[in-house]
Amino acid sequence: MTPLWLIPLIPAAAATVNGLVGIRWFPRGLSALVATLAIGAAFVLSAGVFAGLLQAPPGERMIETLLGDWIPQIPLATANGIGMFKVTWLLRADALAAVMLLVVTGIGLLIHVYAVAYMRDEPSGAYARFFCYLNLFCAFMLLLVLAGNFVVLFVGWEGVGLCSYLLIGFWYRKTSAANAGRKAFIVNRIGDLGFLLAIFLVFYTFGTVDFREVASAVAARPVEAAGLGVLSAICLLLTLGAVGKSAQIPLFVWLPDAMEGPTPVSALIHAATMVTAGVYLIARTAALFMHAPLVMQAIAVVGAATALLAAAVGLVQHDIKRVLAYSTISPIGYMCLAAGVGAFGAAIFHLATHAFFKALLFLGSGSVIHALGGEQDMRRMGGLRTRMPLTFATMAIAGLALAGIPPLSGFFSKDEIQVRVFEAHPWLFAVALLTTLVTAFYIARLMALTFMGSYRGGPWSPVASAAAASTAAAHGVRHPADAPAHGQAQRADHEVTHGPALRGPTSMARSAGGAGDAAHGALRGAPHDAPWTMTLPLIVLAVGALAAGWAGVPATMGGSDALGRFLTPVFAGLASNAAAAHAGRGTALGVMIASVLAAVAGGLAARYLYVTRPEVRPVLALRWRGLHALLYAGFRVDALYDATIVRGTLAAARGLRAIDLRVLDGAVDGVGVIARTGAWLSHMLDKYLVDGVVNAVARGAGRGSFLVRRLQTGLVQNYALMMVLGLFAFLTLYLLGG
């Protein structure tokens, strides 16, 4: 039996080591080694789990590990009287989780290897910090995947959100990066609130938060086909959470900005794994969603709309990473669409293949950015095909896979989704088909702008770049892009940004050293393929992007649909999953041909506009400039949110501040004045009335005693006289009275 708990624990332990010890003391190699070994170990264990599940008969494909209680039994009110709220650290690996485990650890491992070289120019403290965050992310993601109940999943969910925030804002001295991190965190909060409320409602409804218990409880309930009941409410809230995490309309705005993070982060978190957590959540709670068909339709519509609109925005972006960001939102929309029509297996299949080719696209773009010394604007790229053949080849494979060209992985997964969508909602299939066309267009455009034609950027003279870097160092500004170029000069630059507070002469000396290093850099000045630690992951991912689809070739194409059958037990008994078998061969073939034709058409259109007749483009852009500007601004959603929500929040905050100042402070001040007045009155009363009485008594006693004490003369003869007078008085009384 594989120790399931070790899978998230090893990366967590490595993150702890790197975070506590590594940042201060580890050299670069050691922190990278610790992190990579940890994720490698997690990968090996995950592969073991996967193999174990593969061998098990379909009904028994599950491993459970109960680590112990987290929250002991607390009696809480539920819909069925008092229930026991109890949360255990329950890890459960079923087929769905196993696929996700392989994706997360496999791609995570490759990206760790890639980052070893990519982040090399960071100072060692930041280097260890980077790997600490990356490992921590993997740990939380694996916890999310393995969670056996809602609450543990929520822990992982929030954890990956935290790591996403930390890694987007990794270069926290750069204002835009810090803002992007905050934006991602805050936008995700909205979705997380939905998820949290969903958990509350799940417990209130079913009296348990365990996925399996909830699923079996749901099975006993009727499908809410006509109206919205409590199951629909739960699903809506879960959908809100998924929409936030998976960057769907209307909460997608954080993902394009998340590209401020280092490129390996974009590849791992904002393309391959974390953003798919929303889709995973929907698949994990598929039993609930199957009982809320109206919510399913909403998800399908949201997914389709997101897929098309994000792809459209990706058409006109200049920043290579922004294109890829929108190109991430779009396939996740596809996955949501698949989940929305009940094709959970297809959604997970697409998730897995997408992880390969999108991570590959990001890492390839990272190589390009790296080679061009931080240039991200595609208008200043071009012609890199001959200079970076390996990067070009691997990215081309990924691009073809993304576009859905057979027999690459994306084709099979996308096709499966499209067949299912066609059966469920033909009009959504039209949207999906259009998306395929647009997708093929923008990815072909990206490849054409980056690798075809001739180089349009500035000269890559090493002297010039070193001089630029030393200027940057002297002024204490960061290199405009995230990717460091080769050579010592950029290292000096980075240390100005992230390093210890060495300023003035030291950084000047370092940049002088960088300029001296330029002679060495002369050989490496022109763009070229990255070192092997960066190209190796590209090659492995390219193999994955090529071949991953063969794991799930649909039966209608004569394939075995191995992945689908592997996942079947997870989604078994869900009504609409069985519909897949009804897909007619003719329908499937028609959908496939339409899809491929759309992809080829998109690709050819891009080829026409960007390779054959580039001069047509400005004319078109001018004619459609309104649309062009709208798309370039991402449908101005950011501006819309800024005008409504952000400004609304700020205005409300200002209003509340005014209320605070006037009403609350006034009330508090009023209380203060009243207290002061009362105190003054009390003081006066004390001083003049109470003290007056006391003083009057004292003064009376003093005056009185002044009279009486005169008798006490101290003269013996006076006393004797008194005695005699007294004696006479008594004698007189005695004699007269007697």
Partner 1 sequence: MTPITPYHYLVLSAALFTTGLVGVLVRRNIIVVLMSIELMLNAVNINLAAFAWERQHAVGQVFAIFVVAVAAAEAAVGLGIILAFFRNKETLNLDDLDIMRW
CB of 697 to partner 1, least distance (A): 21
Closer to partner 1 by CB, 706 or 738: give it. Answer: 706
Counts for the chain of helices (H) and strands (E), in that order: 33, 2
CB atoms within 10 A of CB 84: 12
Q: Give me the sign of the Cα torsion angle 642, 646, 648, 653.
A: negative
Closer to partner 1 by CB, 620 or 724: give it. Answer: 724
Give dist(CA 304, CA 327) in Å, integer.
14
Contact predicate 609/617, CB 8 Å: yes
Give dist(CA 256, CA 636) in Å, integer.
13
Which residues make Cβ contacts (< 8 Å) with residue 243, sequence separation at least 6?
191, 194, 249, 250, 251, 278, 302
CB of 668 to partner 1, least distance (A): 59
Which residues make Cβ contacts (< 8 Å) with residue 511, sequence separation at least 6?
469, 470, 473, 474, 489, 492, 493
CB of 738 to partner 1, least distance (A): 18
CB of 690 to partner 1, least distance (A): 30
Give dist(CA 534, CA 523) in Å, integer.
19
Closer to partner 1 by CB, 454 or 717: give it. Answer: 717
Q: Which two tokens stand for residue 165?
A: 């925030």
Give dist(CA 577, CA 347) in Å, integer.
12
DSSP 13-40: HHHHHIIIIIHHH--HHHHHHHHHHHHH
CB of 688 to partner 1, least distance (A): 32
Q: Which two tokens stand for residue 554?
A: 């649909």
CB of 711 to partner 1, least distance (A): 8
Closer to partner 1 by CB, 475 or 709: give it. Answer: 709
CB atoms within 10 A of CB 92: 21
Closer to partner 1 by CB, 225 or 711: give it. Answer: 711
Closer to partner 1 by CB, 652 or 721: give it. Answer: 721
Closer to partner 1 by CB, 661 or 727: give it. Answer: 727
Question: What mask of x and - would describe binding to partner 1 in positions 451 to 480, judged by CB under 8 A?
Answer: ------------------------------
Closer to partner 1 by CB, 715 or 736: give it. Answer: 715
Closer to partner 1 by CB, 225 or 716: give it. Answer: 716
Closer to partner 1 by CB, 454 or 712: give it. Answer: 712
Closer to partner 1 by CB, 55 or 712: give it. Answer: 712
Give dist(CA 244, CA 191) in Å, integer.
4
CB of 715 to partner 1, least distance (A): 5
Give dist(CA 297, CA 425) in Å, integer.
9
CB of 705 to partner 1, least distance (A): 9
CB of 728 to partner 1, least distance (A): 11
Q: Which amino acid is at 663?
A: V
The three-state secondary structure class of 67 is strand
CB of 709 to partner 1, least distance (A): 4
Closer to partner 1 by CB, 226 or 706: give it. Answer: 706
Question: What mask of x and - would describe binding to partner 1 in positions 23 to 52, judged by CB under 8 A?
Answer: ------------------------------
Contact predicate 382/453, CB 8 Å: yes
Question: What mask of x and - would describe binding to partner 1 in positions 85 to 104, judged by CB under 8 A?
Answer: --------------------
Among residues 71, 67, 42, 118, which one has the least CA distance to residue 537? 118
Q: Give me the sign of the Cα torsion angle 358, 364, 368, 369.
A: positive
Q: Which residues pair with 63 in a beta bridge?
A: 93
Give the burial string for 174-200 (b: 16+ CB within 10 Å, else e).
Answer: beebbebbebbbebbeebbebbbbbbe
Among residues 337, 300, 334, 474, which one has the least CA distance to residue 404? 334
Read off φ and ψ for residue 375, nearest 5 degrees.
Answer: -75, 125
Site for partner 1 in 557-596 (CB under 8 A): none
CB of 713 to partner 1, least distance (A): 5
Q: Which two tokens stand for residue 432?
A: 């999906």
Closer to partner 1 by CB, 644 or 705: give it. Answer: 705
Contact predicate 174/139, CB 8 Å: no
Q: Which amino acid is at 136?
A: L
CB of 693 to partner 1, least distance (A): 27
The three-state secondary structure class of 74 is strand
Give dist(CA 559, CA 291) in Å, integer.
31
CB of 725 to partner 1, least distance (A): 10
Q: How many residues bind partner 1 (CB under 8 A)?
A: 11
Burial group, residue 133, by CB count within 10 angstroms (0-12, 13-18, 19+): buried
Contact predicate 314/351, CB 8 Å: no
Closer to partner 1 by CB, 672 or 726: give it. Answer: 726
Closer to partner 1 by CB, 647 or 699: give it. Answer: 699
Closer to partner 1 by CB, 716 or 736: give it. Answer: 716
CB of 699 to partner 1, least distance (A): 18
CB of 723 to partner 1, least distance (A): 10
Site for partner 1 in 692-731 (CB under 8 A): 709-710, 712-717, 720-721, 724
Q: Which residues pair with 74 in a beta bridge?
A: 85
- Which 8-state DSSP code applies to residue 476? T
CB of 708 to partner 1, least distance (A): 9
Q: What distance lies between CA 306 and its chain's CA centroid?
A: 18
Give dist(CA 512, CA 473) in Å, integer.
10
Give dist(CA 647, CA 664) in Å, integer.
24
CB of 716 to partner 1, least distance (A): 6
CB of 710 to partner 1, least distance (A): 7
Site for partner 1 in 632-671 (CB under 8 A): none
Question: What mask of x and - would describe binding to partner 1 in positions 260 to 299, judged by CB under 8 A?
Answer: ----------------------------------------
Closer to partner 1 by CB, 626 or 714: give it. Answer: 714
Question: What mask of x and - would describe binding to partner 1 in positions 368 to 387, judged by CB under 8 A?
Answer: --------------------
Contact predicate 146/7, CB 8 Å: yes
Closer to partner 1 by CB, 1 or 715: give it. Answer: 715
Residues that bind partner 1 (CB under 8 A): 709-710, 712-717, 720-721, 724
